[in-house]
């Protein structure tokens, strides 16, 4: 069963290099270490996912509360009442606009005063 290929004698069976004689104890230890590292990575991955889920659940609760608040405001406005929070927002916006306008007027007055002086 010997074959002659290109002037070389080949034996039937496995091809390629023979595996080096590896110390069995070292191989087992590497395998154990790899398993430990894999379990540690898995634990970290699960911790990360659990934190992500809990943060998303908190965000969902906050959004539900906000939605409920808006529903209450809409029901109040349907009854002809303006919620105090909306009044505060409206007056805050009006005050903000008034402050912006007064600031613009003051700046315009300063630039006119500066330009009239040679």
Backbone φ and ψ of 77, nearest 5°? -70, -30
How do residues 70-87 score in pLDDT, each as one tens digit?
999 999 999 988 888 888
How do residues 9-56 score in pLDDT, each as one tens digit?
666 666 666 666 668 889 999 999 999 999 999 999 999 999 999 999
Which position has the token pair 């996912």? 49
pTM to 2 decimal places? 0.50
HSE-CB for 65 with a 13 A CA cutoff? 6
CA atoms of 42 and 50, how far apart (whole Å): 12
CA atoms of 3 and 15, how far apart (whole Å): 13
118 contacts: CB under 8 Å, gap ≥ 6: none
Residues 80/86/92/97 CA torsion (nearest 10 deg): -70
């Amino acid at each position: 069963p010997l074959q002659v290929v290109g002037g070389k004698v080949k034996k039937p069976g496995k091809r390629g290099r023979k595996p080096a004689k590896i110390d069995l104890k070292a191989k087992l230890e590497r395998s154990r270490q790899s398993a430990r590292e894999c379990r540690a990575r898995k634990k970290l991955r699960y911790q990360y996912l659990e934190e992500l889920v809990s943060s998303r659940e908190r965000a969902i609760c906050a959004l539900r509360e906000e939605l409920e608040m808006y529903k209450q405001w809409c029901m109040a406005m349907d009854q002809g009442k303006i919620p105090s929070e909306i009044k505060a927002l409206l007056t805050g916006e009006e005050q903000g606009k008034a402050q912006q306008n007064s600031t613009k007027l003051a700046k315009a007055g300063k630039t006119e005063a500066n330009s009239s002086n040679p």
